[in-house]
Structure 1
């Protein structure tokens, strides 16, 4: 058989195998997409409800709300309003970045400034009704999607918050890397770190890239007696786009990762984009060298402090991971949703709008999901104290059991 025929035959087999794999993936995804996934270890979550009394403090973790409806009828903001009414002053709302889509707060004469103000005003208007504390973080979109002039965009947004919601905390101040702390309640400490600082191009506040992690370690060491929540924009674990997870459709129509309606079929070639973002990564992906270095340094610290909760946005879904004794949240579906893969290391994932809430009781911490359009809660879990692990029961041989008096 000529070499050209052998090559053509091998290519045809490879193409056929890829198409079969994509078809299988597509059928699997259709079965579980937009349905909550709970890992087998937590299948009995509904049998253990949270305490009935009011918590000591509650924290709403709302990520990526930058595309909320400006009509006053946004579903997520309506859920947030209900949460505010139930919580009262004993609570904190943390906006986890990407507060204004698509590029943050442009200059006053920019064509996109009116749209940016309208969206941000809708969010700030909802937050202005809250009696508790409000904390806002900057995300990559708030820094003009990481472009070299992003610091200017971030500073304009921070100034806008000071003018229209002066009681809110925009942290860290002026785009610094942090960490900064805020005491939320007795025994409950918030630590904010500006993860965008490490992946941002162009001008930004001058700082030693390693010093914030040394400071974070010192803060966590000095506060072992408290329950600590660390907040940043970028997730440290993710089963979604920025963690290198793609749908079968995105392999065939890769441009839909940029625009949902860009259905330009590019089979085979289209698989190169997911492969690139999984192995090399765009600047906002975990695989990118700057993100990867920041993530590695941050995890090196957090893994030494069990029971710390790390909350992020960035990926447009809800995800919860238990890793090395710590708790890692992705609460980035404040105004958009995107594919999230079930299983893997995740304890819970859901492709749905909404946000996580942390309820701090005197001796317990509970994680809850709040989603518009769902009649019942799709997941909750006690994070602290961690449930005791039942000792494994080992069956003894019958003769040995009789000898031991069993």
Structure 2
């Protein structure tokens, strides 16, 4: 009798998982719009040229083809349109899987080929190109990651022939502030510093501008106060809101067929045991998850500060998709699908999500007219429209 109850329970559980899986498949890789008015497909070439445009490209570290990669093809079109009036921000995870090794060998050669696939395109940009570092650039956050990020910094600065093409310098936490045009300010912070294991440089001994964590927040607060009346783009690697894996969201497949993470054909149903790892990441978290104590502490402090201001566009990568969250007068982006895509849950606080390669741009026309747009490589026809989402984030 007990056996039959257990069998019925198991079959019912499997049917529930199957129904949830089929429902999830219906919307996976389809764009989600909370407001249909945001779904305004357009061609980049048809837009009025802004006073300044900021492209926010995250996690491009798996790009290998300089000429034909769809993201680089689209980026060249954006570069051609905006020229010197465009700033390109690379939001970290620039070289997969472990950044640029500070030693010779096959891994070093492979890493150089990957970063050069990007740099061969970005060298041609007439405007600014600025790289940030992500967890993969710090040797996936391992204790010797500091040497990796210094190596990558020098390589990129040399190739782009620009001291300020990798910020913050020397693995420091920041913040770094750069004016783009009057009314538009760029601030960059190194969020990997907060979750990094091993050496984390800070203070004058490492050429950092702040001596303590408290001073970092004081400096950031001062910068935000100075530019209270401007549109501020705050660039980082780690998002503050996410409907994807690092935000604690998993697919039904990950719960029911966990072994597919090791091999895509291992469809062995483990409907209860398979939930252990996703649940752990949601409530406890690895170093790079929002639930981890270090990440949670940073997020709490940043949000407490940002909630005191408006007109801030916080741009991050890390999760491999496109997400937009308008919260309390500010705008939080995940723009991490430069070379990979991964599941993202629709709804919640998000106004837009899409599991697709692409990147966000901030188009600044005037202090009271700033547009946020999501650009994606056309998938069917070469003349298809690249802009899938757009919203005026400043101005009526």
The one-character-per-residue Cα deviations of 1:4-55 (angstroms, maximum 9, x if unpaired) are x3xx56655653453233212211111111111001xx21235698995321
Distance across 1 between alignment mates of 2:393 and 2:287: 32
Mapping of residues 52-201 of structure 1, within 5 Å:
53-70=48-65, 72-167=67-162, 168-201=164-197
Shift of 1:346: 0.5
Shift of 1:121: 0.4
Q: Which residue of 2 aligns with 1:44?
A: 37
Distance across 1 between alignment mates of 2:267 and 2:102: 34
CA contact 2:143–2:196 (8 Å) conserved in 1: yes
Distance across 2 between alignment mates of 1:211 and 1:29: 45
Mapping of residues 6-405 of structure 1, within 5 Å:
11-12=6-7, 14-39=9-34, 42-46=35-39, 53-70=48-65, 72-167=67-162, 168-206=164-202, 207-257=211-261, 261=264, 263=266, 265=268, 267=270, 268-362=272-366, 363-374=368-379, 375-376=384-385, 377-385=387-395, 387=396
Shift of 1:110: 3.6
CA contact 2:230–2:311 (8 Å) conserved in 1: no
SS in 2 for 1:142: helix
> Please, which runs of 5 or more residues in structure 1 have no aligned partner?
388-406
Larger Rg: 1
SS in 2 for 1:171: coil
TM-score, structure 1 normalization: 0.88
Q: Which residue of 1 aligns with 2:207?
A: none
Shift of 1:213: 1.7
CA contact 2:66–2:121 (8 Å) conserved in 1: no
CA contact 1:70–1:118 (8 Å) conserved in 2: no
> Please, which runs of 5 or more residues in structure 2 have no aligned partner?
203-210
CA contact 1:253–1:262 (8 Å) conserved in 2: no
Number of residue pairs aligned between Structure 1 and Structure 2: 378
Shift of 1:260: 6.3
Shift of 1:264: 5.7
The one-character-per-residue Cα deviations of 1:122-150 (angstroms, maximum 9, x if unpaired) are 11111101000011100000000000001
Q: Which residue of 1 aligns with 2:208?
A: none
Report the RMSD for the aligned CA atoms in angstroms. 2.0
Of residues 107-116 and 358-367 in structure 1, the stretch that sits farther from structure 2 once superposed is: 107-116
Shift of 1:262: 6.5
TM-score, structure 2 normalization: 0.91
CA contact 1:243–1:287 (8 Å) conserved in 2: yes
